Amino acid sequence: MKTLQELVEHHGGIRPAAKALAIPESTLRGRLKQLEMQVEAPEPELLPVEKLIERRKEQYQQKKRHELQRNLIPVKVKIDGPIGILHFGDPHVDDDGTDLSQLEAHMRLCQETEGLYGANIGDSQNNWVGRLGRLYGEQSTSAAESWQLAEWFLKNTPWLYLIGGNHDAWSGAGDPIRWIVGQAGVLYQSSEVRLNLCFPNKQEVRINARHDFSGHSIYNPAHGVTKALHFGVRDHIAICGHKHTSGYGVIKDPESGITMHAVQVASYKVYDRYARERGFRDQHLSPCAVTVIDPALPATHPDLVKVFWDAHEGAEYLTYKRSRK
């Protein structure tokens, strides 16, 4: 194929060459002028599409491995005997209506009680963002102080698992909580986590924890989590928070024979202007729930898991059970 200069020479000038090419003479002159300078263009900003396709395939495989592994996360319990889990309801550590003294007492209970571990069901702080940022003006804790309190809470509790709530999700992809607890090697998942506790005696107990299960009922505050056990996976413990109400249901799985516990935990945010304005009824039994698991009992024993609404009562029962192991 001839170059433009060769075509002009072949046709004896710019005008006949333009006529032969069926383009305006001015267009041909502009193209010839561009040839007077040779620009060394930088490399393209984007990857070649072939490399992009390979990267997308690799990212998909990574995500697939992650999702398959998080479907039921194995937890190797390394201590003998019964254990307890103190499931903290929505902490909201920075809110003026939060009972921080009780939260601190429950943190200390986890620290001092042998075999008792903490679990965070989400919404560690208010984390007001966007248009909701104005609500910092309605609380005495600043945004910076809120993160101070959240870090204190997260770093001073021996955790089994943590879940991000809807307030935590407002931080976006760069969630600071993931960075705070990640340094300690703590399991943190957004919205949900499903665990399989594997005890030294080969007993296994499954926990399905979410910030919230879908479903509402005016007759049963634990409707969403109960529905999840009926129509979803059949686990020993299904637990959630979010609604700042307490609820509980016990179901036997007719297929496996295990006893399933549907638990709705409330919040340490006891006084809530939004709840008062909307006329929500007080259904707050406790800001937490303690589940005590005795792996020495058979898998189908109805008392394999015991639920306590009073954290100290649960801790005392755990201590008593461990003294008999």
pLDDT digits (tens, 9 = 90+) for 262-276: 999 999 999 877 667
DSSP state of 165: -
Q: How far apart are CA 156 and CA 295, in angstroms?
A: 27
Q: How far apart are CA 256 and CA 268, in angstroms?
A: 35
CA distances from 168 to 103, 122, 268 (A): 18, 7, 16
Q: What residues pair up with 251 in beta bridges, in sequence order?
A: 260
Q: How far apart are CA 36 and CA 160, in angstroms?
A: 70
Q: How far apart are CA 257 and CA 308, in angstroms?
A: 22
pLDDT on residue 129: 62
pLDDT on residue 118: 96
pLDDT on residue 14: 82
pLDDT on residue 183: 63
Q: Can you give the pTM of this predicted structure?
A: 0.81
In sequence order, the 6+-apart residues with CB closer than 8 A to the CB of 102 are 268, 287
Q: What residues pair up with 292 in beta bridges, in sequence order?
A: 84, 306
132 vs 89: which has the higher pLDDT = 89
Closest Cα partner for 106 from 92, 124, 123, 119?
119
Whether 133 has a pLDDT exceeding 70, the answer reads no
Q: How far from chain centre, in Å, is Cα 115?
A: 25
Whether 245 has a pLDDT exceeding 80, the answer reads yes
pLDDT digits (tens, 9 = 90+) for 56-94: 999 999 999 988 988 899 999 999 999 999 999 999 898
Does domain 75-323 fall under CATH 3.60.21.10? My reply is: yes
Residue 63 CB neighbour total at 10 angstroms: 10
Q: How far apart are CA 140 and CA 134, in angstroms?
A: 12
- Range in 58-72, 168-182, 215-229 the model is least confident about: 168-182
Closest Cα partner for 238 from 287, 179, 193, 172?
193
Q: How far apart are CA 15 and CA 155, in angstroms?
A: 80
Q: Determine the average pLDDT of the residues in 280-300.
A: 92
pLDDT band for position 136 (50/70/90)? low
In the numeric block, which tokens belong to residue 221?
């505050």
Which sequence spans correspond to the domains of the chain? 4-34, 75-323
Q: What are the b/e assignments for 33-60, b being 16+ CB within 10 Å? A: eeeeeeeeeeeeeeeeeeeeeeeeeeee
Is there a contact between 90 and 123 (Cβ–Cβ < 8 Å)?
Answer: yes
Q: Tell me the one-letter amino acid at 138.
A: E
Is there a contact between 250 and 275 (Cβ–Cβ < 8 Å)?
Answer: no
pLDDT on residue 188: 79
